[in-house]
Amino acid sequence: MGTLKWGIIGCGDIANKAIAPAMIGDRHSKLVALFSHNLKRAEEMREKFGAEAAYDDLDKLLGDERVEAVYLSSPVYRHCPEAIAAAEAGKHVLCEKPMALSTEDCGRMIEAARSNDVHLAVAYFRRFWPKSRKMRALMRSGAIGKPLSARIRLGGYYDPGKDDPKYWRVRMAQGGGGALQDVGSHRLDVMCHLLGEPQQVAGMADTLMMNYEAPDTETLICQFANGAQMVCETYWNVPQSLDEFEVRGSNGTLVATPFDGPKLVLDKYGETEQFETPLPQGIKHQALIEDFSEAIDEGRTPGFDGYDGMLATAIIAGAYRSWESGEWEKAL
């Protein structure tokens, strides 16, 4: 089996703490090059992880013939232009979540990958977790009957200072939204993995407490193409960690609260069954990186593609449009 040679674009926390270590831990991956607008940061990562090159010029990384694939760990507002540039340079692209600021940008990324015959995927690593896979298997086996409704409640307290390097997350032009966009996108992606394509969305997004641009309170209703209805609530203004996740059907309910925990309960409306779905040991992104490198080597599509990655963005963008228009909005 071959080795996929990687470049990382963006040298922040996620690249240092998760992505580079996951590549080092994957016997089918090799970290070759790093890009940051701050060359010192790129050089520090190059030395730390044993990469061969560090750049502060994106064109030079994309022109490096040793690089076969790139991981975009840059802020969300850069994903679309960087993904398109990488695809046009003939590089496969694995993009940090959420995919982009709009469904239209996602479409441009997908088209660039298709036109240049490269693969594009989004880093929704929870799709690879035992819990997601068990829920999907149970639903496909008919364990809950016909899916009827679903619920997500996710929140905490997030108030970065303006000198925080992650302050871009609460600036609308750069982060594009609040907790719904930033962390809620992970849970929305799992719901799409379980329920299919979103159809229409209504939402509210407001800043009720914080002194930054991004909304700190967001609520949406989404109907999926199969008829199932979902309510999603996200907060950045409550001094409490919230992580509730459930899918209700005609014959039973799957309760995966907290989602980032091992417990999964199947409530058959009178009879319950509990499953242990262990969290990944070590780096949460490991299975994602390994699947992508193996897919490229085997000439297959990764575990999910750019279109799948777009679905969470379609829900989020539709919810924000709905808050402005006061109407239901089509997701796709």
Instruction: Write out residues in the chain with pLDDT < 70, as ranges.
Output: 1
Q: Are residues 272 and 290 in the same domain?
A: no
- What pLDDT shows up at residue 1? 64
Identify the pLDDT of residue 53.
98
Please give the residue range of the domain that contains residue 262.
126-282+312-330
Please report the pLDDT score of residue 173 as a whole number: 86
Q: Which two tokens stand for residue 37?
A: 């607008």
The answer on 277 and 249 residing in a single domain is yes
Global model pTM greater than 0.85: yes
Do 149 and 81 share a structural domain? no
* HSE value, Cβ hemisphere, 13 Å, CA-based, for 254: 32
What CATH number corresponds to the domain at position 94? 3.40.50.720
Dist CA 83 CA 110 (whole Å): 9
Q: Name the token pair of 198.
A: 């979103």
Q: What is the pLDDT of residue 222?
A: 98
Shared domain for 151 and 216, answered yes or no, is yes
The total of structural domains in the chain comes to 2
Dihedral of alpha carbons 254, 313, 103, 300, sign = negative
157 and 231 co-located in one domain = yes
Regarding whether 144 and 267 lie in a shared domain, the answer is yes
* 168-187 residues labelled b (16+ CB within 10 A) or e (exposed): bbbebebbbbbbbbbbbbbb
**Same domain membership, residue 154 and residue 84:** no
Question: Are residue 260 and residue 290 in the same domain, yes or no?
Answer: no
Sheet holding 229-235, edge to edge: 272-276, 263-267, 253-255, 237-249, 147-157, 229-235, 217-224, 198-206, 329-330
- What's 238's domain CATH number? 3.30.360.10
Could you tell me if 324 and 175 lie in one domain?
Answer: yes
At residue 272, the pLDDT reads 97
Q: Which residues contact 72 (CB under 8 A, 6 or more apart)?
A: 9, 10, 78, 79, 82, 83, 86, 93, 94, 95, 96
Residues 99, 26 share a domain: yes
